[in-house]
Amino acid sequence: MQYRQSHPRIEQAELFHNALMASRSRLESLTTPVSEEALTNNEDAGGFSEISLNGAPRHCLQWLAPVLRELSQARTPGWLTLVDPPEAVSHGWLRQAGLDPWRILIVRSKTGMDSFKLTCELLRLGYSHTVVSWHQTSQQQAALLENAARSGSCRSLNVRMESTQAAA
């Protein structure tokens, strides 16, 4: 994200903090226990969200860790599933970042598998409360992820990590 020089420079950490605070009510709804009746009557039982992070991959993961931590501590039934995360994401990284690796599934597609189709299938199955993916999605793909999430009564969070030359 670039700003004109006439405005004071806003650090990415501050922007990320502000985004988290603005979406806090939405995150709190993920961490509140939901009755089975509420799930069947709630039209917002599933959905699609996307976070776009710019910079070096290790810095992007540092910004993403608090979001994943919040999701991993959710009291909702099901897994927090990470589909084809960056190679740096392992159970060791999860523990270092303060996440509960016992509530998180890391799913890596096999060679030749379509990662996007795998993500949609995991969403439709409904065994996860949130499925996190790393895709460069089009509007059509975002709609497919949202529909799959709704059919599985879970949430889809897509992370766009775009490297910048200055951040390397």
Q: Tell me: the pLDDT tens digits for 21-48?
A: 544 444 444 444 444 554 444 445 679 9
Q: What is the DSSP letter of 22?
A: H
CA–CA gap between residue 27 and residue 83 (Å, rounded): 20
Mean of the per-residue pLDDT values for the chain?
Answer: 78
CA–CA gap between residue 54 and residue 63 (Å, rounded): 10
61 band by pLDDT with thresholds 50, 70 and 90:
confident
If one compares 73 and 4, the residue with the highest pLDDT of the two is: 73
> Which is nearest to 161 in space by CA: 81, 64, 66?
64
Decide: 131 and 83 in contact? Cβ < 8 Å.
yes
Residue 125 pLDDT exceeds 60: yes
- Classified as helix, coil or strand, 119 is helix
Decide: 103 and 132 in contact? Cβ < 8 Å.
no
Question: Model-level pTM?
Answer: 0.70
Q: Where are the domains of the chain?
A: 65-168
The per-residue pLDDT for 29 is 44
The per-residue pLDDT for 45 is 62
The per-residue pLDDT for 56 is 84
- Please, what is the angle between helix 24-31 and helix 12-22, to 10°? 60
Residue 123 pLDDT exceeds 90: yes
Average pLDDT over residues 97-110: 91
The topology under which CATH files domain 65-168 is Rossmann fold (3.40.50)
In 10 A of CB 98, how many CB atoms? 12
Average pLDDT over residues 139-155: 96
